[in-house]
Structure formats: structure tokens, C-alpha cells
Amino acid sequence: MQIIRTRSEMHSFSALHAGKIGFVPTMGYLHAGHISLVERARAEQSVVVVSIFVNPAQFNDPKDLEKYPVDLDRDFAMLEKAGVDAVFCPARSEVYPNGVPALRMSYDEVMNRLCGAGRPGHFEGVLLVVHNLFMWVRPQRAYFGLKDYQQYLLIKRMATDLELGVEAVGCPLVREADGLAMSSRNVRLTAAGRVAALAISKALFAAAELWRKGETAAAVQAALNSLLTPLQVEYALICDADSLATVLPGAPRPARVVIAVAAFVDGVRLIDNVLLT
């Protein structure tokens, strides 16, 4: 497994494997969710590149950036075992040699909803870094977990709208045995927080079940709110899965909905969702 630190090395590698690269961009501190993306990439492309870069441009809270867990040796071992061909882990100065650019890439409507409402500038930072990672890695396909559903939606649109020649593939959210959505942030939970956090997936599963049974948006929303009462909720919403617009009481049921939650447990921001199609 090749470890690549600079943009120019990355360019040489991608030129050599043009048209064959499956790419998994990550911020490191990997878990089984990431490895499932690597496995999908391996099944579909002959060369697999994973990037590890904790992107300062997407952290609206500097404390969250500071606390983001890092363990490169452990990540490298996991990726080597998973059969990855190259890991691109550039320094910040390599990605942003002149600091974070002032260029903002935005989808005003989709971006300001859900996570975008509480994290101003977050998705602009995500789109910027993913765009540039695509330029360096030049993948055929790139794989994203549907846990970050809004992120996936925005990246997929950007890849199409900016003619990046990359197919963004959304892959199923991976959960712990008890239902908690896997996240690099879970390691920051206390034992009690770890138990409390289960309320998120439980509330989502219950809401999804009610929705499938044909309950109204208002009824599902009420159940969701009630089940999440013990937590500090940032949002808990039933949304059209394409526009992310909230499904209003009495409005027609969209063909595809996503029920999405962001909540704080032990001061750790956790997100989760269920996609109903």
C-alpha cells in the first residue's frame, strides 16, 4: 500500500491508473462504515485510493476540529488489511498552500437545511475539499456513506453540475449491533452517553415504521419528538429525499423521504437518518 503525501505524487499515481480508480475520501479514525465503502470500491474498480484529511474548511467550530480523533497508524493498518492500493494523506499546507480559499460553492436551498442550518459554512468547506480531491485523485467513482445523506446529495449534484467526470455512489449506513450509527465521534462518548445515544436510532426506526404504515407526517413527527425528548436535539425532521424540504402536515407524501436527526450527547454531535423509498 502506497502512502502519498503530496499533490504531485497523487497526480502521478492517478495518471498511471486513469479510468480505474475507486475513491473513498475520509477524515480518518476509520471504522467498519469506512471499510464497507472500501469494499464496495474494491468490488467495482481495479484500483482503490483512500484519502485521510481532516478538513479545517468544513469545521465551523474550532473546538470540534481540535477534538477530532486521529490515529494514522491504526488507519493505515486497517486500510492495508482491506486491500487499499494507495492512501492520500496530505498536510494542511499541501491542501491549502495559501490558506482556505475565499471561494464559496453553495446550493442555497439544499445547503441551508438540516446540518447546514446549524453549521454555517460546513458544506461549502466539504464541496471545496471534495472538488479538489477529485482533481488530484481523478477517480472514476467515489463512495460516500449515506449516514451523511445531505453531504452525499450535495456532492452528487456538484459532480454532475461541474462535469467532474466522477460518479458519486451512496452506500448504506453501517450500525453497531445495538443500532447506533457508526461514527468516528462515538469514541468521545462516555459509557452513559453511549447508552443514551441509542435513543436516536430507536426513534428513527420507530418513526420509519409509522411512516411505512401510512401515518401522517404530523403523527410521525410527534412520535419522533417524543422519543428524542431525553436528548439535546438540533433537528429531527421528515424531509423530501431530493430537495430536503420538510414534509409539511397535510402535504402529499413524497415518493422518497429521509427522516434525519442531529443531537448532542455528552457534548458530542451525532447524526443519523433512515431513507425510505
Is 11 a residue of the active site? no
Smallest separation (angstroms) from a second copy to the CB of 178:
39
**Interface characters, 44-63, with a second copy (x: CB under 8 A):** --------------------
CB nearer a second copy, residue 19 or residue 172: 19
- 256 Cβ contact partners less than 8 Å away, ≥ 6 residues apart: 240, 241, 242, 275, 276, 277
User: What are the grid coordinates assigned to 188, written together?
Assistant: 468521545
Smallest separation (angstroms) from a second copy to the CB of 41:
22
For a second copy, the binding residue among 53, 107, 149, 211 (CB under 8 A) is 107
For a second copy, the binding residue among 63, 108, 213, 277 (CB under 8 A) is 108
Can residue 131 be called a binding residue for a second copy (CB under 8 A)?
Answer: yes
Among positions 136-155, residues that touch a second copy (CB under 8 A) are 136
For a second copy, the binding residue among 163, 213, 229, 250 (CB under 8 A) is 163
**Residue 162: how many other CB atoms lie within 10 Å:** 13
Rounded Cα distance, 9 and 17, in Å: 13
Taking the alpha carbons at both ends of the chain, their separation in whole angstroms is 38
The piece of 163-171, 190-198, 203-211, 257-265 that touches a second copy (CB under 8 A) is 163-171
Rounded Cα distance, 113 and 146, in Å: 16
Q: What angle do CA 201, 199, 112 make, to 5 degrees?
A: 65
CB nearer a second copy, residue 161 or residue 178: 161
Q: Which run of H or of E encompasses 100?
A: none
Smallest separation (angstroms) from a second copy to the CB of 106:
5
CB nearer a second copy, residue 8 or residue 226: 8
For a second copy, the binding residue among 1, 3, 54, 135 (CB under 8 A) is 135
Smallest separation (angstroms) from a second copy to the CB of 168:
14
Task: Give the three-state DSSP class for 141.
Answer: strand
Q: Which residue has the cell 451512496?
A: 170
Smallest separation (angstroms) from a second copy to the CB of 207:
29
Of residues 40, 55, 264, 245, the one with CA closest to residue 145: 40
> From the candidates 11, 17, 31, 34, which is the catalytic residue?
34
- For helices 122-137 and 149-161, angle between their N-to-C axes, nearest 10 degrees: 50
Task: Give the three-state DSSP class for 187.
Answer: helix
Please give the backbone phi and psi of residue 134, each rounded to the nearest 5 degrees, phi first: -60, -40
For a second copy, the binding residue among 67, 74, 81, 104 (CB under 8 A) is 104
For a second copy, the binding residue among 2, 6, 8, 109 (CB under 8 A) is 109
Rounded Cα distance, 78 and 52, in Å: 13
Can residue 202 be called a binding residue for a second copy (CB under 8 A)?
Answer: no
Binding interface with a second copy (CB under 8 A): 7, 101-110, 128, 131-132, 135-136, 157-158, 160-165
Name the residues annotated as catalytic.
34
